[in-house]
Amino acid sequence: MNGFKTTMLLAALTALFMALGYTLGGGGGAMIALLIAAGMNLFTFWNADKIVLRMHNAREVDATSAPDYYAIVRDLAARGGLPMPKVYVIDDPHPNAFATGRNPENAAVAATTGLLGMLSRDEVAGVMAHELAHVRNRDTLIMTMVATIAGAISMLANFGLFMRGNDGNRANMLATLLAVFVAPFAAMIVQMAISRQREYGADRGGAEISGNPRALASALAKIAGGAARIPNAVAQRNPAAASLYIVPALRGGGGDSWFSTHPDTGNRIAALEEMAGEFGQPLPRAAAAPRASALGPLPARRRGSALDPLRRD
């Protein structure tokens, strides 16, 4: 059902883009709009991961430079039946994570140092399982396409406003202005709707991969609180990047409204708690001793590592 909804929303976004092209240039305008969208999608299909990672100044790590973090991703990828993705760290106190790449064979996952220093090992595993679920569901490709078409709509709308404002033809000015202002707004709503439903699916997939829904629920609560206090410079400069992350990177980005990039965190946590009951996980006790990680003992940590904050609570 989620796949069907996503397909329908993508179709609506493409139709909106072509309709804007038709409004501005008739049948020829619609064809030009389609060609532009195809060209942009082809470019982003091959280069989106590089663009996103460079935007965040992400650095690749391995089993030597970040043994704990890398081992978590490696074990989760094996559990999920996925190829090992490239693993990145972003030097940023803002706690968040994302996945990128056109398919599971060319995927990458990234987490900020703020997230790695804030969460326990099981919680980090829950977050990375969520990101690997995005990879397995091919959400990274879908969201790249959506962002590309939405960006193209905004670009075409700005071009149309300039063109109509300089040709002196007022016959269709009202329709043009309506299309120019309404189309980007509608595209934004469709983009956010796709992002929200993809997050619920990745939460469930991540809980299945890690086998620990409650750890992901706990991580979401911590990350959401930290993200609300600590600004995300990349998302502030490029609001389109806000839909990448596991929790909203901008204020007002959540809440299950038309204008939110993510589902309400409380609703996500409630769904994961329900899953925990299905998994037979007992309710946590305040005085309980720390439980063993679902991924086994924590590997020995190299002191002085950039990821030394990755600890086990």
Residue with tokens 């490696």: 74
Strands (E), 43-127: 59-61, 86-90, 97-101, 107-112
Sequence-distant contacts of 84-89: CB under 8 A, at least 24 apart: 85/109, 85/132, 85/135, 86/60, 87/60, 87/61, 87/62, 88/53, 88/58, 88/59, 88/60, 88/61, 89/58, 89/59, 89/61, 89/113, 89/116, 89/306, 89/307
Question: What is the token pair recorded at 270?
Answer: 């409630």
Collect all residues with Cβ–Cβ distance below 8 Å to 142 and sequence separation of at least 6. Answer: 6, 10, 194, 198
**What is the CA angle 143-222-109, rounded to 5?**
35
Phi, psi of 298 (to 5 degrees): -70, 130
Catalytic pick among 60, 131, 199, 274: 131
131 carries an active-site annotation = yes
User: Measured between alpha carbons, how far is 167 from 118 in angstroms, rounded to an integer?
Assistant: 57
- The helix/strand/coil state of 111 is strand
C-alpha dihedral (290, 301, 298, 66), degrees to nearest 10: 120
- Residues identified as active-site: 131
